[in-house]
Amino acid sequence: MKFDITGWQAWAPGVSSYEDWLAWCVQPRLLESAETADVSFLPALQRRRLSPLARMAFHVGWPLAEMMPAQPLVFCSRHGETPRNLQLLTSLAQREDLSPTHFSLSVHNAVVGLWSIFRNDSSEMTSIAGAEDGLEHALLEAQLLLAAGAPSVLVIIVEDQQPDAYLPWIDDVPFAYALALQVVPGEQWQLE
């Protein structure tokens, strides 16, 4: 199966423009910054529900989605909302009441649920955890959607820094990052 990529957006702390990414590719470095992804295009009531992971996904995906009609979305994150899950587990351990909102936003498909609501989009949306091969799994899912007749698919891959409590077991996220790809049928790329 072959495909084309007609647009992309990427974000990491301090690296967001095409020129920033070119410079980073020439001299890769660990990115450490408290900068968060800009989602000022959303109303304040919507922004406040978004975790850092969701903010990154919306930051990279929204500009690409604005250029296309409603389309399927493939969201991929190996670890998803683990920081929010840790907050819930900590509250349980301390015998505190759990926030129903935090609980509902802690599941792996919470980002696509918010995407669907905020964009008023009922297109097919998939949320996957692709282990260390997230890019490949997300692109395979996109190719399958294209083969089923979708004219385009938006792919969003996001990872956030993990809480300190998980660092002995999770060391595969050197810095927070997000990538969105607009994938269409074509001949330019092939997944092998």
CA atoms within 13 A on the CB side of 65: 22
Res. 116: pLDDT tops 90: yes
Q: Cβ distance 138 to 155 under 8 Å? A: yes
Res. 125: pLDDT tops 90: yes
Distance of CA 8 to the CA centre of its chain: 13
Distance of CA 124 to the CA centre of its chain: 16
Domains of the chain: 45-190 (3.40.47.10)
Give the pLDDT score at 174: 82
pLDDT confidence tier of residue 185, bands split at 50, 70 and 90: very high
More confident residue, 4 or 25: 4
DSSP 108-153: TTHHHHHHHHHHT--S-EEEE--GGGHHHHHHHHHHHHHHTT-S-E
Q: Give the pLDDT mean for 9-23.
A: 90
How does pLDDT run across 33-88, given as a tens digit for each residue? 778 899 999 999 999 889 999 999 999 999 999 989 999 999 999 988 888 887 88
Q: Name the helix (H) or strand (E) containing 57.
A: helix 52-66
Res. 4: pLDDT tops 90: yes
The two three-digit tokens of residue 86, written as one number:
């840790």
Distance of CA 79 to the CA centre of its chain: 11
Give the pLDDT score at 82: 80
